[in-house]
Amino acid sequence: MVRFVRRPDGAVVVDRTGTEQGRGAYACPEQRCLTVAIVRLPGTLKSKDIDIDRIRADLAGVGVA
């Protein structure tokens, strides 16, 4: 599973360690699941300010996307 987290400072990132503090959401690591998860992140994490390019870069950095 891939964990996304909204940190206390409001930034939404991929939680590489699974220990980041903040509101979290999980998605399976398959491309179709991640595509849906990225679209739903604003509502799920209650954050309108999500940098989708950063999320994609974070996913690529962990070898998922």
pLDDT level of residue 65 (50, 70, 90 thresholds):
low
Q: What is the pLDDT of residue 48?
A: 83
pLDDT level of residue 63 (50, 70, 90 thresholds):
confident
pLDDT level of residue 64 (50, 70, 90 thresholds):
confident
Residues 6+ apart with CB under 8 A from 13: 4, 5, 7, 20, 54, 55, 58
Does the pLDDT at position 54 exceed 80? yes
pLDDT digits (tens, 9 = 90+) for 10-42: 899 999 888 999 999 999 999 999 999 989 999
Helix (H) or strand (E) holding 59: helix 52-61
